[in-house]
Amino acid sequence: MDGNVDHTDVPLYLETPDNDDENMTTTLLPLGAISTWTKTTVSRVSLLSVLMLATLICNIILIVLILSSAELRNKRVNIFMLNIAVSDLLVGCFTMTTEILFVAFGRWVLGAFACKLTVYGQIFTLASTTFLLTTLSIDTYKVRVIIDILEYMQ
């Protein structure tokens, strides 16, 4: 075969046997119509769906709680928590959704533009979450060091 042939244009055939071994019927199916839903695929899609739903619901609840209370909005740690919750919502929207589709279909089905956009979204959300957790750690450490210094001076 020629190495330059695009195999995505080749139609898929599904051969189904009749009652005896001599008669085989061939049914032409459109490209991508065959998807194997094994127990592993179903369990992975189910688990990812439950995790995505829990991520979205819990982060929305956290955002609403922080934004609805003036006392919670004024604390520096809660501002970090609000930003992390928004970042986790984006992770749920970009990473988990596309992973569910990829696991369910066994291949990328959203096209080239969505592939590039999704990769950008995944990198952005991962970097922002990591940056926010790092800043929260540095902020907490700085506050602890200042308290220790003040206690030592007294």
pLDDT confidence of 35, banded at 50, 70, 90? low
- Residue 93 is predicted with a pLDDT of 84
Cα gap 16→3, rounded to integer Å: 30
Q: How many Å is the maximal CA-CA distance in the chain?
A: 95
Neighbours of 91 (CB within 10 A): 22
**CA 151 vs CA 70, 142, 146, 154: distances in Å:** 30, 14, 9, 5
pLDDT at 54: 95
pTM: 0.64
pLDDT of residue 95: 86
Assess whether pLDDT exceeds 60 at residue 12.
no
Looking up tokens 């940056």 gives: 131
Is the pLDDT at 125 greater than 70? The verdict is yes
Averaged pLDDT of the chain: 78
Q: Is the pLDDT at 67 greater than 80, yes or no? A: yes
pLDDT classification of 22: cutoffs 50, 70, 90: low
Question: Does residue 66 register a pLDDT over 90?
Answer: yes
Averaged pLDDT, 36-58: 90
Could you give the domains of the chain?
A: 39-144 (1.20.1070.10)
137 has pLDDT over 60? yes
